[in-house]
Amino acid sequence: MTGLDLSSPVAVVGTGTMGQGIAQVALVAGHPVRLYDAAPGRARDAAGAIGARLDRLVAKGRLTEADRDAARARLEPVDNLADLADCGLVVEAVLERLDVKQRLFGELEEIVAEDCLLATNTSSLSVTAVGGTLRHPGRFVGLHFFNPAPLLPLVEVVSGFATDVTSATRAYETARAWGKTPVACADTPGFIVNRIARPFYAEAFAVHEAQAADPATIDAVLRECGGFKMGAFELTDLIGQDVNESVTQSVWQSFFQDARFTPSLAQRRLVESGRLGRKSGRGWYDYADGAERPEPHTADKEQPPAYVIAEGGLGPAAELLALIREAGIRVREEDEDHGTRLVLPSGGQLVLADGQTSAEFRDVVYFDLALDYRTATRVALSAAQDTSPRTLAEATGLFQALGKDVSVIGDVPGMIVARTVARIIDLAHDAVAKGVATEEDIDTAMRLGVNYPLGPFEWDRRLGRDFAFDVLDEMHERDPSGRYAPSLALYRHAYATDKREGTS
């Protein structure tokens, strides 16, 4: 099945930022586009704004003058819903209220032809519920664009409970014909991206609430060690704390207050105080003119150890052994059955974050997971209050000798990157097991929708099938609230490895 024919008009109802963006996408793809907004004059204002953006595309050499003129000729603001009668697709981008959307589509159903595809751009409401009052809900689908729609390639094509396969396929192919990268998903809270991305924010906030590190340090570790483009605090300031928290609350409530999606009290207080981020001038950070951006905690210079003993390899951090040798530090490798660690000259141990805490052991310093230890510019360490100062100094000096800045954080299980990635991987496996989307579509969605350096399954394959399970299993033992309980899907994934390898 192919997408919507180019001769078929596309209607966009709601002409805010998202509505204008969707209209521009359809327009540049070659469709006649009709704009409607319930507020008088707003559709014409939106048409003018879209025309101005087309002018900027011409100035940047991304659109020819002839194509701009043709696009402008195809763009028509209208004053009545009845003017959308011959459209082949209507995309709604109005207020995120169920009653408003249901009423709109009820009116549209009386106007458009039976083969007209109806789509909602909702990011937080149930597609099934929005289309649930229609006489013909089979033609109703979610088309979730990401802001700004003309620039971001991802579109989540969401099938409600009553959506026909042919309608979903038609919507999918239309998005692809518009130059977008569509992913198919079932109608569950948060769809793909907003469901699986929750731990990126939640775990950063949890580390902060535990007084283990400040926002600037957590953001720096996520960026410079984890490979994320932005840290959780700066990203939510950009999105808007009220917007981000609203999505979190919606997903949490829709999953019947599942502990895995518990909102942050610290973020709630931020919203209550009106510190919404960049748009209000202050959020986690201060954006007033002249305000200084806080610097991440960076440890003072320490001497590197003369040697390390590598016991049992380092698993996902095995690359460190080559880096240590390249730095001129002697490495002696020993096969051990009781774990993977580096032993320092002090006798203390340096261990990859595994969901346990330094306080449980004698003289153990944990180091965080990195996307790529060779290119990482910062590494986080954690230690207990009674950890030997010499051991912490040697661990710090070791990573500094590898060219890394070192941030020492509090003794929290899973540290920062490891716990975040483990939880993202877990939610991804859970989503596949419950038929939300395929592994490939989830990886695509997380890379394109929120710009993650790797998709969850790409990360899982790199780390090893049991890494995420082991981290979460240990964290669940220390926090039995259910927040870190590995899903049954992740359990099966990890256990299948053991079974295949003949272990118990």
Q: What amino acid positions are annotated as catalytic residues?
A: 123, 144, 156, 194
Helix (H) / strand (E) element for 65: namely helix 65-74
What tokens appear for 302 in the block?
A: 């320490």
Distance, in Å, from the CA atom of 413 to the CA atom of 476, rounded to the nearest integer, reads 10
Q: Which two tokens stand for residue 424?
A: 């993202």
> CB of 131 within 8 A of CB of 2?
no
Q: What is the DSSP string of 66-87?
A: HHHHHHHHHEEEESSGGGGTT-
3-class DSSP state of 190: coil
Q: Which residues contact 151 (CB under 8 A, 6 or more apart)?
A: none
State the Cα–Cα distance between residues 290 and 292, nearest whole angstrom.
6
- Residue appearing with tokens 């986080």: 380
Closest by alpha carbon to 251, among 158, 184, 160, 188? Answer: 188
Residues 6+ apart with CB under 8 A from 178: 3, 25, 26, 29
For residues 411 and 423, the answer to whether their CB atoms sit within 8 Å is: no
Integer Cα distance of 23 and 282 in angstroms:
32
- In the β-sheet with 75-78, what is the strand arrangement from edge to edge? 75-78, 33-36, 10-13, 89-92, 117-120, 140-145, 154-159, 181-186
**Strand ranges (E), 233-370:** 307-311, 330-334, 341-343, 349-352, 364-367
Instruction: Provide the 3-class DSSP secondary structure of residue 32.
Output: coil
- Residue 251 tokens read as 């997903």
What is the 3 state secondary structure string of 156-206?
EEEECCCCCHHHHHHHHHHHHHCCCEEEEEECCCCCCHHHHCHHHHHHHHH
Q: Is 191 helix (H, G, I), strand (E, B) or coil?
A: coil
Spatial CA neighbour of 429 closest among 472, 488, 480:
488
Give the whole-angstrom CA distance, residue 88 versus residue 71.
18
Collapsing DSSP to helix, strand or coil, 412 comes out as coil
Determine phi and psi for 150, rounding to 5 degrees. -65, -25
Q: Is residue 109 within 8 Å of residue 136, measured between CB atoms?
A: yes
Other beta carbons within 10 Å of 79: 12
CB 407 within 8 A of CB 216: no
